[in-house]
Structure formats: structure tokens, C-alpha cells
Amino acid sequence: MADGADGGPGAGAAGGWVPVRPQEGVMWCDERFNFQATFLQCLAKHVPNIYSAEMDPLLEKQEEMVQAVILCPLECYLFGEDPDIFLEKLQQSGTSQLCGKVFKGGETTYSCRDCAVDPTCVLCMDCFQNSIHKNHRYKMHSSTGGGFCDCGDAEAWKAGPVCTKHDPGASGSAKENSECQLNEEIMERSRRVFPSVIKYIVDMLIWEEEKELPPELTISREKVDSYYCVLFNDEHHSYDHVIYSLQRALGCELSEAQLHTTAIDKEGRRAVKAGHYASCQEAKEDIKRHSENVSQRPLHVEVLHADVMAHQKFALRLGSWLNKLMSYSSDFRQIFCQICLKEEAGSEKPCFISKLMLWDAKLHKGARKVLHELIFSSFFMEMEYKKLFAVEFVKYYKVLQNEYINDDHDRVLSVTALSVQMFTVPTLARHLIAEQNVITTITETLLEVLPEYLDKNDKFNFQGYSQDKLNRVYAVIYDLRYVLVSKPTLWTDRLRQRFLEGFVSFLRILTCMQGMEEIKRQIGQHIEVDPDWEAAIAIQMQLKNILLMFQEWCACDEELLLKAYRECHKAVMKCTMNGRSREKTVFHLCGHTLESRPYRVSADPVSIHLPLSRTLAGLHVRLSQTGAISRLHEFVSPVAAEMWRRNGLSLISQVFYYQDVKCREEMYDKDIIMLQIGASLMDPNQFLLLILQRYELADAFKKMKPTKDQDLIKQCNVLIEEMLQILIYVVGERYVPGVSNVTKQDVIMREIIHLLCIEPMAHSAITKSLPENENNETGLENVIDKVATFKKPGVSGHGVYELKDECLKEFNMFFYHYTKTQHSKAEHTQKKRRKQENRDEALPPPPPPDFSPTFSNVVRILNCDVMMHILRTILQRAVELETHLWTEAMIQMVLHLLSLGLLEEKQQLLKSPEEEVTFDFYHKATRMGSSALNAVNVLMLLEKLKSVPQLETQKDTVNWILQMFDTVKRLREKSSLTTVAAISGSEASKGDETQSTQDKEKAERKRKAEAARLHRQKIMAQMSALQRNFIETHKLLYENTLEAQGKEDSVMEEESMSSAIDYSKIALGPKRGPSVAEKEVLTCILCQEEQEVKLESTAMVLSACVQKSTALTQNRNRVLELSGDTLDPLFMHPDLPCGTHTGSCGHVMHAACWQKYFEAMQLNFRQRLHVEQIFDLENGEYLCPLCKSLCNTVIPIVPLQAQKINSEDAEAIAQILSLARWLEIIIVRISGYSVKNVKGEKQNLPAFANKGMGNSALEFHSILSFGVQSSPKYSSSIKEMLILFATTIYRVGLKVAPNEADYRIPMMTWSTCAFTIQCIENLLETEGKPLFGSLQNRQHSGLKALVQFAAAQRTTSPQVLIQKHLIRLLGVLLPNFKVEDTPSLLEVDMFHILMGVVLSFPSLYWEDAVDLQPSSISSAYNHLYLFHLTTLAHITQIVISSATESPTTRSSDNSEEARSAQSFCREVCQYTSGCFSQDIPGWLVWDCVKKGIMPYLRCAALFFHYLLGISPPEELLQVSEEGQFKALCSYLSLPTNLFLLFQEYWDTVNPLLQRWCADPVVLSCLKGKSIAVKYPRKRNSLIKLPEDYSCLLNQASQFRCPRSDDDEQKHPVLCLFCGAMLCSQNTCCQELVNGEELGACTSHALQCGAGVCMFLKIRECKVVLIEGKTRGCLYPAPYLDEYGETDPGLKRGNPLHLCQERYRKLHLLWQQHCIIEEIARSQETNQIIFGFNWQLL
């Protein structure tokens, strides 16, 4: 670079201000040199020139000039030597111990759940991979951008704060690092240079004059009238709005407007017009006007002088220059920070960095980015300066937040987003609290921004709030959370004082929330969730963790806790005083009196927002926990009585969120605690009276009110139920540390147990149902294994946790976090389970833990008079059958309360001596009263309850309670026999009574259970019979492989029984076995009528889908022709690059029924335009009417013509018809045609024909002499379908317009038949299934129909055409034909040739007048010889292309095969003039041939089987390699030593072999000049994926878009077929295909998968299937976390691992050609995807 500066264009011009040569720099005497003036002079001179062409900048040129004229000289001066050399020196040593990498949006970040101090502590991919956390419980997430890697920050990590890369102690070079400091001279110059540079940047960025520059930058030259009209970015206007406005205002092209808009979105501003001031001003007004028209608000436009624009641009360039410089040395950073923080002496003006911060919201996007990066690379890399920066930040916090709230850019682009980087550092947070009072600052900021939502009572009201603005307020709330995230371990007085100040300030916010948004309760109604009302809940959610953290901070320190409690109490009391008051009333019940101001839940409005009271409750519990409560004397019952005055409990059933897991800890749970506090502090009877009064139930329990009003009664019943439920919770719910002596773990365990009592659940479902703490942890992992066992998932679905049996006893039906539905579901599940175990159905509560001393008084509620009265009254009503006054739910709750009372007494009795236990529930419940109302005691009522028919289901529970009564009685008696002796007699006898009735009941129950079991059995039997019938009648619905196999088996059995002769299992030649052609009767799925398949009847068809496929390709790099207009598909390349696959779902219809269906659908969908996209009717697509598979055609079902050979005739013919003679005959026939056919070109065959291989007496008609028969006569309907299907294959396979007369139709027919068979063979092999008998029904019937169709199709084409194709095909085998353009042996797929020649051969029998075809015997020979010929050619192919590797092992195999192979090779060697090496041992050649030929033989066997219907040998129904080979050979009439074929036909084959080998292509391949496909061909599979998902993320992070180098967010996508990584959903990688813009994936799919492809979106962890340009769907990725769940979007962030089974399922989806089907199905069920533009993927 130094050179460039020397000779560069600008160097001369720069002369005079800074010395260019380093040596000179040393000579310059610093004092004399005024850097600032010279620097500015230089800028004034050059900057406007460099950035003159703003409209159409040459970016590279600009950069070059900036370097040469300004930056390079500046660096030379600064470093005092060549900058390149200097910086290299620095770079080697200058790495910081902090990583400091700033994340871009979408980048993956890692956090460690074991070691991160809080979840905002993250690592970049590199640091993570090199850290110890790789093996911990980590989480992965996508960054929203703007974050920063915390590697090296000791405060962020409990362990392993540094990765090996950033660890200074890890590498030797690091030591030098600290020593290598900048020398004094450089530092001195830095101190001189930086201020000027920084000042310039600041001045220019905050420059507001449109027309003028600061005087020091204005040079004397004439000011030119050159301006720009500059458009700024905002979040209010959409892309389209901006484009529209620009087009209108500037009259520019769409493309130009798009260009501008993209740039504005990226950079934040852009000059859209250049010119004189007036014209720019005009453009500005135009843009504003047009934009205002579309969206009310005008766009932000400014007119700037060209020089201003240029200097502002350069200021940013200088900013990034500094940014880079910062990374080189800590000294630079420190000097920079010092200068930025320096305040002018005596001036009130903020320092440089604060100026910029304050200006942030006014800057455009590009400038903000540079500024923030600069802060990251300087201040945040030096702890000391980070602190100083934080202090400045807090100083201006209020202003900054206010600016942000009124700004319209995303938060990532605001300087306020940096707060998380400072506030989450524990020491920094503490410093800011103690010294800068940050908590108060934040809460005051909140109080300043929230007032706009305050109503006249100073309560919040969010009517008509703006969601965006509120979201911005949340950012402030979040800051509060960051500051509080780590609790201090050491408290100083100052910290304590400041914290308390902050807390008090925070209480002011809560005061505004206390009682806000009151609602009137509507019994039996659900409150509509209106959006305004949701805002309050959202704030509550935001505050939840902050409230918790405040309480926890308070609890750290006893002194603090007490002070905070007092403050909080004061605040609550202040609010309560303001509450409305009523007349005092007096209320008596059971001799107790309550005097109060009544409050009625049904009429008075209530609020669910009571954060102050709840905070007080929270502090109370903590006081109880620490025992400090004893020091609290002043507050007692008045609080207790009032604090839950208007609490929201009465809204439980109406407000979902109140009880939801996201809020409940600081709402619902705290309300229960409030009640418990009240209950513990008040007299129990008073407490209950108060409750009764709140629920307006005072009268309901006083006397029977004979009201007739059904509604009132119903309403009263609802209230009673709710009240009882609350009482159960108050007494029973004790799982809160402080309320009882439980740990947090116990609490979580109980939550999980109750969740799993409902049903087994996935990990994610449990997590979602548990409250998260401030670190987003639920504590689930620590306890889950204690209570549940994990059950692994299958190929779909997810793993679930099941509750351990021993935890079932913990089940509490009235668990307070159950919703109504959960409650009944859990009850149902548990009862069912007990029933299955043949146990009673009683579900009593589990014994609760003891209350802590503070709360111990709560239990007194259970045995107080009012409670007894309530219980008795309800039971009495039930017993007296006052049906309308009680409900079963009520009884259930009364029973639950009874159980709780008895359990309490029992537990107390077990713990202490009887006389000390004052809890006398038993006594109260069994005591007789004197008044009429309580003449019967509870125990007696229970006995009676058993006979109430409506309460049959509660019987078991009642029995359980009776037993408990007994137990408690015994416990009382045991310790004090004497006292109870008096009454024990009667009690005991009663006890016996119960016992005997219980026995009786047990027996009865047993009998009933048995009866029920028998009944169930009967039903089951009926059901399965029904099921069988259903299967019978809907056989086709069941694609049961087993069944298909069974069918084949039975056929096989019949076969072997009828004829035990072996040759029945031979498909070819004179020994050919009989075809098994069953009569086929099929049912049309549309009209349900049956029909036999016959040649002459109307056609039945099979729904089918034809698609192009690259599933078998051997070479994915081959470029596919997108349109087949000029393609000749007769020969398939051995690479099998792209074939046409025909699949079927196996469903049969009448052709006529199908046509009607299709037409109806067409009509239907034309009327409903929007659904059109599911399938393309134009291209014949439709959904199978039965299974909804996507289809685009139908295959006509052509019956197999059974043929039998007379074996004697066959033997006779065998004597005459040798291969040689057969060949002679067909050659004569063919040449005869060419003689006859004037139009056909003269064929050149004499060389072969004249070789004198027999008598020339042969004539044109000889071929007919071995037997002919007339061609089958197909019904016109079948013919029509033959043509229709053939045309579809042609149209789809070649992507051309349909044309029934095209000459390529027969070729495509053979080709799809061959390709489909090859696909099926491939699939069977990779799945390890036997060749026959294991196909799915749909595959079986599809293949059968396809092969029969292919044979019949010939009859619908002109025979001359077929003959022409046949001759070309034979040309490959018989090179003497010398047909033009015949490919060599190595350029064709032999199975495709076989298919073509066999299917077209009958055309040779065609005579002008009569339509003939070979007889059975003739075709037996034709098949045999055609097959042998192709086999010979294929063997030669294999030997030439594949037997090339030298042996790695020696083998002494000297088998007959090996010897034959050896001699064959000798011949080949000879014919290739030695190009083929003879050295390869015979056994190896044989081995190659045997392996290589296998797929071909298997395909041939499948083909002939489906063509002729001859049963295959049993060996092919099993998987066995050796057996298979022999069986195939026998079925196909081949010798097992394949080389014997050559020997047998040597005279005929020898000349063929000679010609095959002599082909130039073959020779060039043998010489190694080209590469031929090796056999067996490789079986394709999806690419190998790494086991650990983070490896993929790693790969993705290194991905660079091949087309652009900007740092924008990319969506790397992996092609699962070929492994290519693509840049998806981005304009940079779109491609123009046939005039259409296609996204990277869509255009890749066209080549890689012939339009159908499978991708993995790496950052989202989702699989995408696409087809063509318009269709696609998402599919779960094959990666699972340890809980067997997928994680689309990496939302949960758990480590993910590859699931092989799921990946295999994807593989099968591909290889079975079901991707299209899957897409169609998913689009059917999931219509949302329509909005997505797949084309641009």
C-alpha cells in the first residue's frame, strides 16, 4: 500500500500536509505541526471530489482514492512507518482477551445452562466450539442482531469464561501480547490525531445545515449549486409504498425505484435525485405528497448540498477506519475512549460519545451501525471504559429512552439496546445502583413515559394504546430486569440505601397498577378478551420476574426486608384508604358476629391487578421463611382483613391469564397466600364469615330460602362451589417455601406430578406449563427423573414422560393450578387407572406438609363452628334430596374438606400426645347439636349419603372418609382409653357395622366388575368382527404388504400343487412356464360397482402420477435439458441422469367415472379461484378421490393374455431356430421392409447378411412361419385411455405440449416402464426386501398395469414408426446395421434397450392387410434371443467398464467361471488391440460381472414377470444373495456361468464382440481418456448429515453467498440430494429461468431433482420439500433433542442429534417418489402455506 500511496494519483495532491514517507514523519517536529488544521484542509480539498458522483458511485474507485489520498497518508503519519508492516506486527500480537464479536441477525449464539450467569450471556460459534461448554447443557438460538460474544468476560460465566482461542494463558504468543505495547511516540501521535478525527466525525454526523459546511471545511472556491434530494428510511412505510411514491414523484422505472428502495432499507438513506437546489426541493415535495397519499404520513426527505453529503459519507468511512484500528491495540482503544469521554473544562456540554448517543435517534441507519460498532470495538472491549461509558449512559438514560420511544426504528438500531451489555454485568450493575442510582433512574423513566396511560384516579388505563409504543416501554422494563438479574452477595450501606430508594420508587409504579382496569363480574359468563385489556396483562407478565427479583433481593438482608415490608405496607394502606366505603352492616351466624362494610363480588367491580398487595404477601412469606416475622409487631389483622378486599379470585373462571403459568406466581398464587395470611391472623369464624359475606352467601347458609327463581339458585350454587374451592386451597395448598417447610424442588416436583396425572407429556409441553425464573429455567431437569420415566418416540411424534407409579399417591384432585378442564381430565384419568387396577375409585387428598409456625393457625378454619355449619348444611341438603340446592361438585368438595380435616387431626395425633392436640375435627364432626338444624352430625350424614343414588360415583370416597373417622377415633382411644370408654361401645358397634357393610359392598363391586368385564369382551368381539367386515369390503384401502404376499403365496401353492414340474418357473424360451392369469374383478372407488377386466369391455383405470426424476442419477453435475422439444429419448444414458417415473396409489375407477369426476372438479375449481394452487388442472392434476394422493393421469388396466406353450412344438422348433438363424430371419425381414418401404432410407446391412450364415433362401415372410396370431382387439374405451396415458407420459417426461401423433410417444412409454422398474428394484434392494412378494399393493398393481399398458400401447401407434425405433435399438446390439447416430455400447443403459426391443419387436409381424403378432412359441424365442443378446452386450459393458481395478487380495479361485472369464478377457484384449488389460485375474472379472449384472437381472425378472405372468422361483421370495443369483438365471434361462453364453453362441457373437470393442468411444475409455459408469451403479441416498446439529450450524456460519459479499443476513439452505449449500430467499441469488425470476432453491431443484427437491433450512432446522415453481411444504427436520422432540426455528434451543430412522423416512419419501404426494397432502391440510412465494425460495 505504501507503494500505491507513493505513486498513486492522489499522493502528489496530498503533498504538503502530511509527509508520505515514514522517514520524513520522524523528522517532522511535532510542535511545529498543526495537525488539526492540515487535516481539515486536506479533507476540505479532497472529500467533495472523491464523493462527487453520489447518484451513480463507482465504489471501488472511491475506496481507492480514499485510501490513497487520505487514509494511507494518515496511517503513515500515525504509525511512523509503512502501515501494512506496522499493522501486521500489531495484528500478530494484539488480540484482546475478549472476543467481542458482534452478532448479525440470524447468526447462531450459544449459551450454557450450567455456567452462564444469565441467559443473555452468549458465545459465538467459534468460541463455543473451543470452550468447555460444548459438553455442557447448552442452548442454541438465532440472534436478533446487535448482541456481542461474551467470551473472556469473567463475570458472565460461573466457569470456563474463556475459550481456548481467547485464553491468554493457553498460547505462548499471548505472553508477548501484553509486552507488545505501542511505543510512546505512536501514543503521542494518537493523542494528537484522534481528537481531530473524532471531532470531525462527531461534527459531521450531527451537522444540521443543509446548505453549508463548517467554515473550516469550506474552501474558498466558488460554491457550486449542486444538491441531492435524499430519502430516509423509516419503519412506517412499506417497500411497496416507497417504490410507488418514487415512481410517481420521479417518474422513474420500476427497476430504478426498486434499486433505491433496497439501498434505503439497507443504508438508511439515499440520494434519489441530483440537481440544482430548486429541482431537488421540488422532488422533495413531490415525494412527500405522493407518500402521504398512500399512507397518511409523508416520507422523510431532505435536500442536502453535495459537499455536506460527501463529508457525512466520509465521516462514516473514517468511523469504520477507527473501528478497525481499535481491534489492533488496547492502547488505541484506551486513548480513543479517553478522548471520547473528555469533557471540555468548565463547559456543560456533553463529551463526544454522549453527544453521539444523544444524537443517535436522529441518525440514519447506516450511521447508527457505524457508531454502535465503534462503541463495541472500543468501550466494550476495555472493562474500565465500559464502566465509564455505562455511567455516561445512565446519566442520559431518561433522554435516550424518551428518544427511543418516539423513534420509529427497530430497537436493534437504537443505542438504548446497548443497555443489556452493561446492566447484566453484575459488578457494573451494582456500581450503577450504588453510585448512579440506576434503579431509581429506570423507574422514574417509566413513571415519566407511562403517565399518558393514567386515568383520573391515577390508575393505568390502556384504552386505545399503541402496541408499538407499549413495546418500546417494555424495553425500559427489561432494563430493570437486567439490573436485578444477579443478586449481590455483599451489601454495603450505600447499596442498601440506593436499592431501597429504587424499591420505593418502584412501589409508585405498582400503586398506579393497584386496582387498575376494574371489571364487573358476570356470573356464568366469560369475559371477552379485548385487546385493550390485554395490555395490562402483558405489563403484568413483563413485571412478573421483576417483582420476584425485588422480593428476592429484599430477602437477602433481614434489615432490608423489614424496611421494605414497612414501605410496602404503607403503600398498600394508602391505596386501601382510598377504596370506596359503604355502610357498616352486622352479620350473625352460629353465634358469631361480623361487623363490616360489605363488599359484593357480584355487583362491585373488581380488579385482578393488585401488585402492591401481592408484593406485600410475597414479603410476608419471606419474613416467615427467615423467621424475621417475629420482629414484626405493628401490623396485624387490619391489613389481613383488608388486603384481599377486592382481590381477583372471584374472576378465576373468567380471566384466563390470571391463572396462566406466565402470570400466576405474582397474581393467583399470591392471592391464595394473602388469604392464608388473613386466615392465619384472624379468628377462624370471623374469617369464614367474611368469606361468606364476600361471596354473598350469608343468607344461603342461614336458612332455607324458598326462592323459586331458578337463575338465582343456580347462581348461588356456582358461588358456593367457588367458595368451597377457595377454602380447599386456603387450607390445603402449602407448597410455597415459607408457608410450609418445602424446598423449591419439592414445589416443581409437585407441579410435574400433577401435570403427568392428566396424561403423559412431551418435555416441551411440561416446560411450557411450568413457571420460568429470571434465567428462563424451570428446574425441570433436576427433578423430572425422580418422578417420571421417559418413553422414546417412534418415527413420527415425540417422546413423552410418564409418571412413576409411586408418585400417583401425591395426586390431589383439587390442585390449585388445574384449570377446570385439567381438573376433570385428571380426575377421569386417575379413576380409570384405579378401575383398571381393580381398586376403589376414591381419590382422597394426599397428606399436606405442615404449615410453618406463621401460618399454623390456618388449619383452625377446618374445625371452627362456621365451617362445621357449612359442611353440615350442604350434606344435609344432599341427604334430603333438595336437588336444586346442591350439586355433585359441591359434595365432592365437602368430602375433600372433610378428608383434609381428618388428615390434619391424624397427623397431629401421630406427632404429639393426645391431650396436647387441640385440633378436634373428629369431635366437632361427631358432636350432636341441640338445635334442629344441627340435630344430625356430619358422620351420620355421611352414612346416609351412601344411599343417595345421584352420588353413586362418590361412594368410594365416602367409604374412605368413614374409615378415616375410624382411624382417628382409634388414635384418640389408644392414648386415652379411659376418656373415650364411655362412648366407645356404641361407636365400636357402629364401626363393625360399617365394616360388614363394607365387605358386602366389596363383594358386590367384584360381581359388578366381573359382569362389566364379560360385557366388554362381548363388545370387543363384535367390534373386531365389524372391523374384519370393513376390511373385506374396503380391501383396497388397506395397503397391506403381508396380505399381498399372502396372496402371492397362495397362488404359488396352487401352482406347485397342480404341476410339480420344475420348468414351470421359467419365463423365457421353449421351456417357458404357463402364465397365471386370474380373472380380475375390480371395484370402482367412485360408483362402487364391480367389473371384470376384459379386453372388450369398457376401460378401468388406475389413478397415477407421472413425474420426472433424478432419483437414480450417477452424475448430478450433468446439466439437464429443461425442455424436451429437441430431445431424442430413445436411448437412456447409463448415468440415468433423469427418467420418467410412473407411480400409482393403486385405486381403481371406471374410465367414465374418472372422467366425470375430473370434469366436475374442473368446474368446481374454476368457480373457486383461490384453491387452484393446490393442483394444476391445466396439467391434468387432481387428487385421488379416495386417498387424496396427487395424480396427473390414469393408467388403463389391460388384462394379461394368458399363454401356454405346447412343449412338444417348442422342442421341435428348437431344433431349427438357433440364434444365428433367428438373427438371419429378422435381418431379412428388416431389409425386406426397407426395400418395400420406399420412403425409408436404404439400410446398409449386407456385410452381416452376406456372411453366409445360412441359406439365402430365406425370404421376407420367413419370420411368420414360426407361428403368428392375430393382435388383440381392444375396446375403443381402452384404446382411448392407452392414448391418453401415453400422451401424459410424453408431455410430462419431456415437458412439451401434448401431441398424440408425436413419434416419441412409444419411446417415452418404454422409457418410463424401464425407469420405474429400475426405481422399484433399487428400492427393494436398499431396503433389503426380497424381489417378489414384498411390494406394497399400490406398487404391485401400478407396475402390473404399467407393463401391460406398455405392451398394448404399440397397437395405437403406426407400426412403421415402431419398426423404425426397433431398428435403431437393434443397431446398438448389431453394429452391422450401421444406423446413423447409434451410440456405442458404453453410452446406453442396457435395460432400457431390452425394454424397447422386447416391446417393439412384435411390430415386425405387422403386414399391410392384417394385424398379426407372434404366437406364444414365437414370442418365447423372440424374448429369449433378445434377452440373451442384451445380456451378452451388458456383460461386455461390465467387463470393459468395471473390471479395471487390480486385485487387492490374492485368490486361488480357479473355478470354471474364472477360467471362462479369463478366456473372454483374452478375446476382448485382442479386439481392443491390447487396450484392455489382460492382467486382471479371471476370478476378479467373474466377481465383477456377477455383482455388476445383478440389478439388470433383477429388473429383467420383474419385467418378464409382469409382462407374462409366469411365477418366479421361491428363492426370489426370500433375501439370499447366492440363491437369488441361481434363481434369476433359471427364471431367465441363463447358464449360471454367464460366460457360457458366449461360448454357446460364439460364431454369432464373435463378430458382434469385435465391433462392440472396436468402437472409438470404447477404446478411448479403455485408454483412460474418458470415464464410463461402473457396475453395479451406486445406489443413491440422501447426503450424510452430521450427528450433531451444531456442526451444521457451524458449516452454515462459514457459508458465504457466492454472488454478493455484503454482511446481510443469509439463509443458508442445504440440498439433501447433492449437498450443495445455497443462498435462499435472497435477491442476490435469484436466477432468470425462461424469463422468470427463480430463487436459488427453486432453480437448483430444476437441475438437481428435475424440479422436485428436498432442502434443509439450516438456521431454522426445518426440511423444505419443493416441486416446480409453485409448490412446497415444510417437513420436520430429522434432528431430535434428548427428549425426542424436533425444534423448528430453534425456539427451544436444546442440543439436537440426528435421528437415523427419521432420516431414512425422508430417504424413502424421495426414493418412492412420494415428495409430490406429501406436498399436496400438506397443502390440503395446511392452507396457510399458500401465502408463501415458493418460486423465490
Specify the residue, 49 or 1097, whose C-beta has the smaller distance to Zn ion. 1097
| Least gap, CB of 1291 to Zn ion (angstroms) | 22
Other CB atoms within 10 Å distance of the CB of residue 1388: 22
Specify the residue, 99 or 1553, whose C-beta has the smaller distance to Zn ion. 99
Q: What are the cell numbers at 382?
A: 476495555
Specify the residue, 1085 or 1696, whose C-beta has the smaller distance to Zn ion. 1085
Query: Stretches 559-567, 607-615, 1082-1090, 1301-1309: which one binds Zn ion (CB under 5 A)?
Result: 1082-1090
Is the separation of the CB atoms in 163 and 123 below 8 Å? Answer: yes
Is the separation of the CB atoms in 1084 and 1074 below 8 Å? Answer: no
**Position among 46, 101, 646, 1065 found at the interface with Zn ion (CB under 5 A):** 101
Specify the residue, 698 or 1628, whose C-beta has the smaller distance to Zn ion. 1628
115 binds Zn ion (CB under 5 A): yes
- Alpha-carbon distance of 955 to 135, in angstroms, equals 55
Residue 1328 falls in which region: left (phi positive, over 0), alpha (psi -120 to 50) or beta: left
| Least gap, CB of 411 to Zn ion (angstroms) | 23
Q: What are the cell numbers at 361?
A: 435517534
Query: Stretches 122-130, 629-637, 891-899, 1296-1304: which one binds Zn ion (CB under 5 A)?
Result: 122-130
| Least gap, CB of 1280 to Zn ion (angstroms) | 16
Q: What are the cell numbers at 986?
A: 356404641
Q: What share of the chain is helix, strand, coil (3-state, %, to 5)?
A: 60, 10, 35
Q: What 3-state class would DSSP assign to 179?
A: helix
Per-position x/- string for 1628-1647, each x denoting binding to Zn ion as judged by CB under 5 A, each - no binding: xx------------------
**Which residues 6+ apart lie within 8 Å of 459 measured at CB?**
512, 513, 514, 515, 516, 517
Per-position x/- string for 150-169, each x denoting binding to Zn ion as judged by CB under 5 A, each - no binding: -x-----------x-xx---
Specify the residue, 1284 or 1397, whose C-beta has the smaller distance to Zn ion. 1284
Q: Give residue for cell 368438595.
A: 893
Specify the residue, 139 or 860, whose C-beta has the smaller distance to Zn ion. 139
Specify the residue, 151 or 589, whose C-beta has the smaller distance to Zn ion. 151
356 binds Zn ion (CB under 5 A): no
133 binds Zn ion (CB under 5 A): yes
1603 binds Zn ion (CB under 5 A): yes
1150 binds Zn ion (CB under 5 A): yes
| Least gap, CB of 1198 to Zn ion (angstroms) | 18
**Position among 1617, 1675, 1683, 1710 found at the interface with Zn ion (CB under 5 A):** 1617
Specify the residue, 339 or 1596, whose C-beta has the smaller distance to Zn ion. 1596
Please give the sequence-ordered ranges of beta strands (E in DSSP) within 452-500, or none if there are none.
none
Specify the residue, 454 or 1087, whose C-beta has the smaller distance to Zn ion. 1087
Is the separation of the CB atoms in 1539 and 1487 below 8 Å? Answer: no
Query: Stretches 369-377, 1186-1194, 1482-1490, 1548-1556: which one binds Zn ion (CB under 5 A)?
Result: 1186-1194
Q: Which amino acid is at 428?
A: L
Residue 791's H or E segment, with its range, is strand 788-791
Specify the residue, 339 or 1084, whose C-beta has the smaller distance to Zn ion. 1084
1111 binds Zn ion (CB under 5 A): no
**Position among 87, 127, 961, 1308 found at the interface with Zn ion (CB under 5 A):** 127
Q: What are the cell numbers at 892?
A: 365432592
- Using CB under 5 A as the binding rule, the residues of this chain from 1424 to 1463 that contact Zn ion are none
- Alpha-carbon distance of 121 to 151, in angstroms, equals 9
1618 binds Zn ion (CB under 5 A): yes
| Least gap, CB of 146 to Zn ion (angstroms) | 15
CA distances from 406 to 300, 361, 842 (A): 15, 9, 61
**Which residues 6+ apart lie within 8 Å of 561 measured at CB?**
554, 555, 619, 622, 623, 626, 628
1084 binds Zn ion (CB under 5 A): yes
Task: Give buried/exposed letters for 977-1011 (b at 16+ CB in 10 A, else e).
Answer: eeebeeebeebeebbeebeeeeeeeeeeeeeeeee
Task: Give buried/exposed letters for 1557-1589 (b at 16+ CB in 10 A, else e).
Answer: bebeebbebbeeeeebbbbbbeebebeebeeeb
Q: Which amino acid is at 508?
A: R
Specify the residue, 655 or 1093, whose C-beta has the smaller distance to Zn ion. 1093
Specify the residue, 1083 or 1207, whose C-beta has the smaller distance to Zn ion. 1083
Query: Stretches 169-177, 346-354, 1183-1191, 1475-1483: which one binds Zn ion (CB under 5 A)?
Result: 1183-1191
- Alpha-carbon distance of 827 to 845, in angstroms, equals 12
**Position among 1319, 1623, 1652, 1654 found at the interface with Zn ion (CB under 5 A):** 1623
- Alpha-carbon distance of 846 to 1184, in angstroms, equals 56
Is the separation of the CB atoms in 93 and 176 below 8 Å? Answer: yes
Q: What 3-state class would DSSP assign to 301?
A: strand
Q: Give residue for cell 479403455.
A: 1566
| Least gap, CB of 1146 to Zn ion (angstroms) | 7
Per-position x/- string for 1189-1228, each x denoting binding to Zn ion as judged by CB under 5 A, each - no binding: x---------------------------------------
Per-position x/- string for 1129-1148, each x denoting binding to Zn ion as judged by CB under 5 A, each - no binding: ----------------x-x-
Residue 749 falls in which region: left (phi positive, over 0), alpha (psi -120 to 50) or beta: alpha
Q: Which of 103, 203, 115 is nearest to 153 (CA)?
A: 115
Residue 1106 β-bridge partners: 1142
1281 binds Zn ion (CB under 5 A): no
114 binds Zn ion (CB under 5 A): yes
| Least gap, CB of 1058 to Zn ion (angstroms) | 35
Q: Give residue for cell 436493534.
A: 412
Per-position x/- string for 1645-1684, each x denoting binding to Zn ion as judged by CB under 5 A, each - no binding: ---x------------------------------------
Specify the residue, 1196 or 1513, whose C-beta has the smaller distance to Zn ion. 1196
- Using CB under 5 A as the binding rule, the residues of this chain from 450 to 479 that contact Zn ion are none
118 binds Zn ion (CB under 5 A): no
**Full 3-state SS string of 343-379:** CCCCCCCCCHHHHHHHHHHHCCHHHHHHHHHHHHHCH
| Least gap, CB of 167 to Zn ion (angstroms) | 8
Query: Stretches 701-709, 908-916, 1152-1160, 1520-1528: which one binds Zn ion (CB under 5 A)?
Result: 1152-1160
Listed in sequence order, the DSSP H helices in 1070-1199 are 1151-1167
- Using CB under 5 A as the binding rule, the residues of this chain from 256 to 295 that contact Zn ion are none
Query: Stretches 104-112, 251-259, 332-340, 871-879: which one binds Zn ion (CB under 5 A)?
Result: 104-112
Q: Considering CB under 5 A, how many residues would be counted as binding Zn ion?
A: 36
Residue 1459's H or E segment, with its range, is helix 1456-1471
Query: Stretches 17-25, 344-352, 694-702, 1081-1089: which one binds Zn ion (CB under 5 A)?
Result: 1081-1089
Specify the residue, 817 or 1147, whose C-beta has the smaller distance to Zn ion. 1147
Specify the residue, 117 or 1465, whose C-beta has the smaller distance to Zn ion. 117
Residue 728 backbone phi and psi in degrees, to 5 = -60, -45
Of the CA atoms within 13 Å of residue 892, those in its CB half-sphere come to 20
∠ Cα 1677 1319 1489 (to 5°): 120
1187 binds Zn ion (CB under 5 A): yes
State CA 421 to chain mean position distance. Answer: 30
> Residue numbers of the site for Zn ion (CB under 5 A)?
99, 101, 112, 114-115, 124, 127, 133, 136, 149, 151, 163, 165-166, 1084, 1086-1087, 1145, 1147, 1150, 1153, 1184, 1186-1187, 1189, 1601, 1603, 1615, 1617-1618, 1620, 1623, 1626, 1628-1629, 1648
